[in-house]
Chain A
Amino acid sequence: MSAVRLRLTGIQKSFGATRALKSVSLDIAPGEVHALIGENGAGKSTLMKILSGAHEADAGTMELSDIPYLPENPHDARLKGVAMIYQELNLALHLSAQENILLGAESTKLGWVDRRASRERARAALAQLGHADLDLDRRAGEFSIAEQQVIEIARALLIQPQVLIMDEPTSSLTQADTEKLFATIGRLRSSGVSVIYISHFLEECRRIADRYTVLKDGETVGSGKMKDATLDHIVTLMTGREVKDLYPRTAHAPGQVVLEVKTGASAPRLKRATLQVRAGEIFGLAGLIGAGRTDLLRTIFGLDALDAGEVCILDATAHSSRPRDRWAQGVGFLSENRKEEGLMLNQSIADNLTLTKMNAYGRFGWINGGKQRATAQRWVGELRVKCLNAGQTIGQLSGGNQQKVALARLLEHPARIFLLDEPTRGIDVGSKAQIYQLVSELAAAGKAVVVVSSYLPELLGLCDTVGVMCRGELAAVRPRTEWDEASIMRVATGSA
């Protein structure tokens, strides 16, 4: 048997002008658990898609047990011996555990499903995972998430994979289930399967992995034996980039508290958050994807139900918390998801911009279209939105220009508390700089701004105060000056 199970050399991949992977190299021994580590957007997902055959690399070579490995599609990758367990499980919830395990690989006799052979194979796969007692006839949907994951791993084992890739397998598991998963991974390791383990939780990686590779901005920046590496070393590798001077700092002096959350919780993700935001303050929320940052904003805005605790908008007259009332109280929300929630893509810029207060552009329910368009046109000019005119369908604009219109909705309303979820996601650098400038000016004018971002330099460059969330809890809130990227990452990954 070769000493290297999987070897990647100089993998490159671009999407249009974006270079997702610049140069990634990786090698994994048989029976090794290899942690793949990197911040959001470092290129892990792209790399996994190339490995599992969903994308094709632009350059570089892949070898599986010394044979060139060129998967044509995910099915082909599976047949060649590389199986993937996605973060979002892929089970047919209405079918039984057995049917799920054998999906696409049923034992047949003359075209008929051979039930006995099928059952034996499913049983054998589960036994290899130490779950021989799982009820094969129950519907997959009736199992817990952890058990569903076992079913999915059993399915992957059916074709005897050489490499098993697991993407954030513990993100929805409890502590006890995580322990069971680690035991399962241990069994896989001893039966010679190589495991690529992707996780944001560095402590977990340390416990389970033999070796690690760190990706940053599409490049391999370090790898080695896990037991030789300190967490600090890994965090430095993950974040070691310069903070560019994109962030204007207009002087602003935070005043009275205007927004307060007291031990707020909202099922399923937000467990506990306490914070105060003052007028003229920019409050940043850091954390990994799924840590509950978006859930916190949505709960404040009344889009998700508050299950426990309290959200107070100070000096607001009404205390109801539906989005409609929040707007009336002067709270505005910018969704992280422009396409699915933030904008009506097949409607005009003017309609999108004025949707929260259409009554203001006319009388008795009739809209004065001229007034509405003139208002929109004014914002288009002020924010330098590139478009034909305010009547243009917003779906035809670029992401950056769409985002400016989405923000203008809050400005026109006008809001005094801005909840901005990933305000610069997927937009060009020019628009980003403009949005930073705008946010800074808002704070200078005494507005309160809460910014959720996955991009740490942005939070450190822009905010007065930064709170870091980990697994549904707001773990630490400190002035910006007391944070750096490494300390934020440590809290976010639960290793502080």
Chain B
Amino acid sequence: MKDTLKKILAKGGPFIGLILVIGLFSIPAETREFFLTYNNFKIIFTQTVIVAIGALGMTLIIVSGGIDLSVGSTIALTSVVGALLIQHGWGPAPVLLVMIASGGLIGLLNGSAIAGLRMTPFIITLGTLGVARGTAKWMADNQTVNYDTSPINGWMTTADPFSHALPAGVWVAIVLAILTALLLRNTVFGRHIFALGSNEATARLCGIPTTRLKITIYALAGCFFGLAGLFQLSRLRQGDPTVAVGLELDIIAAVIIGGASLNGGVGTVLGSMIGALIMSVLRNGSQQMGWPTYFQEIIIGLVIIVAVFLDRLRQGKAAA
């Protein structure tokens, strides 16, 4: 009995957390009516898209034992790039590709610097955080980049706001999550990411090309961040070089709440997605309760600490 309980906790820790926060907001009289409705969850899902897609890339990086602090800036930069291209009359497909590629390019630079110069990811990406943000402001001439209209604007909403259909962005996030989960679990590339994060010395000893692998991981994650920039653009309908400041912290928090370890070698896509949802539900619920935003920030901060603490307790028990 105790063992089964432990197993449930071990496998479904983040999931239980999600049910808890949903339950929390379903009880009070202020939110009971609207909170547990399909339409509210449609809103929650839509609000989660950007963090969720970012968290997919971040999961790859964190499982490999790295970290990327430049995500918020990357998202801002790619959204500016996209807006400028739309201004120049580009269609949605080439804009999409160029935005993903620019995210990938920043990741490639991050990965090359980390693997090539053998510097810690924290320092390198702290540097690119500034470089990408500055470049975004430079390209945008320090103001928002506006354009008339683009089909991209419709990817985060549905034509009829009361229809039961989900916006394209939600579907993209779901499909990518499934693909990334398969990539991590069932491909040689994915197992090598776990090997790198679990013990880089072992990976090297076993002949895994660790330098190339690291560069690939950061570049691929960068593509995800570029795509997150696309949905940021879609949501704002303008390129804003000052958007998504500090978003990397939300994304990292989602991955960590989802059970990944900053030491590398541990983490799942499903966990990260649930982690992203937990934060969206907390935000959404707090708003409906009429709590001020500073109160939401305090709660989310505490949730991160509690989640990681519980995770450590759980792992400590498992190891004993």
Contacts and interface: CB of A to CB of B under 8 A. Distances in A.
Contacts of A325: 207
A362 B209 CA distance: 19
B27 to A, nearest CB: 38
A221 interface: no
Interface in B151-203: 186-189, 191-192, 194-195, 198-199, 201-203
Given A340-B201, A342-B202, A343-B199, A351 B209 contact: no
A182 B208 CA distance: 48
Interface stretch (A288-296, A307-315, A364-372): A364-372
A376 to B, nearest CB: 13
Contacts of B208: 324, 355
User: Which of A341, A369, A409 lies at the interface centre, i.e. has the most chain B CB atoms within 10 A of its CB?
Assistant: A341
A344 interface: yes
Q: Which of B188, B204, B205 has the most CB of A within 10 A?
A: B205
Contacts of A409: 206
B93 interface: no
A356 interface: yes
Contact of B195 (A347, A366, A395): A347
Contacts of A341: 199, 201-202, 205
Given A324-B209, A346-B266, A351-B194, A366 B204 contact: no
A128 interface: no
A367 B191 contact: yes
Nearest to B202: A344
B187 A366 contact: yes
Interface in B239-277: 265-266
A305 interface: no
Interface string A463-482: 00000000000000000000
A197 interface: no
A345 to B, nearest CB: 7
A358 B204 CA distance: 14
B204 A351 contact: no
Nearest to B199: A344
A408 to B, nearest CB: 13
A226 to B, nearest CB: 43
Range class of the B interface residue count? 20 to 34
Interface in A124-160: none
Contacts of A362: 188
A326 interface: yes
Contacts of A186: none
B198 A356 contact: no
B319 interface: yes
Contacts of A396: 319
Interface string A210-239: 000000000000000000000000000000
Given A324-B207, A344-B198, A347-B265, A365 B319 contact: no
Interface in A390-435: 395-396, 409
A366 B186 contact: yes
Given A347-B195, A351-B194, A323 B265 contact: no
A481 B319 CA distance: 46
Interface in A328-347: 328, 333, 335, 340-347
A201 B204 CA distance: 35
Given A344-B265, A351-B194, A303 B203 contact: no
A346 B205 contact: no
B202 A358 contact: no
A448 B79 CA distance: 59
Contacts of A343: 199, 202
Contact of B207 (A326, A344, A345, A347): A326
A94 to B, nearest CB: 19
B202 A346 contact: no
A303 B188 CA distance: 23
A395 B191 CA distance: 17
B205 A342 contact: yes
B259 to A, nearest CB: 13
Contact of A358 (B191, B199, B266, B319): B191
A365 B188 contact: yes
B146 to A, nearest CB: 43
Contacts of B194: 344, 347, 351
Contacts of A351: 191, 194-195
Contact of B188 (A328, A352, A358): A358
B36 to A, nearest CB: 38
B206 A356 contact: yes
A240 to B, nearest CB: 38
Contacts of B265: 344, 346-347
Nearest to A333: B205
Nearest to B198: A344
B202 A355 contact: yes
A301 B208 CA distance: 14
Which among B189, B192, B207 has the highest number of chain A CB atoms within 10 Å? B207
A202 to B, nearest CB: 35
A436 interface: no
B217 to A, nearest CB: 15
Contact of A395 (B187, B201, B319): B319
A323 B204 contact: yes
A327 B199 CA distance: 18
B49 to A, nearest CB: 28
A359 interface: yes
A344 B191 contact: no
Contacts of B199: 340-341, 343-345
Given A340-B201, A346-B198, A323 B207 contact: yes
27 contacts: A301-B205, A323-B204, A340-B201, A341-B199, A341-B201, A341-B202, A342-B202, A344-B194, A344-B199, A344-B202, A345-B199, A347-B194, A347-B198, A347-B265, A351-B194, A351-B195, A355-B202, A356-B206, A358-B191, A359-B188, A362-B188, A365-B187, A365-B188, A366-B188, A367-B191, A395-B319, A409-B206
Interface of B: 186-189, 191-192, 194-195, 198-199, 201-209, 265-266, 319
Given A325-B207, A346-B265, A367-B191, 16 more contacts: A301-B205, A303-B204, A323-B206, A326-B207, A328-B207, A341-B201, A341-B205, A342-B202, A343-B199, A344-B202, A346-B198, A355-B203, A358-B192, A366-B186, A367-B186, A367-B188
Closest 10 CB pairs of A and B: A324-B207, A344-B198, A341-B201, A355-B206, A327-B207, A358-B188, A344-B199, A356-B206, A323-B207, A365-B187
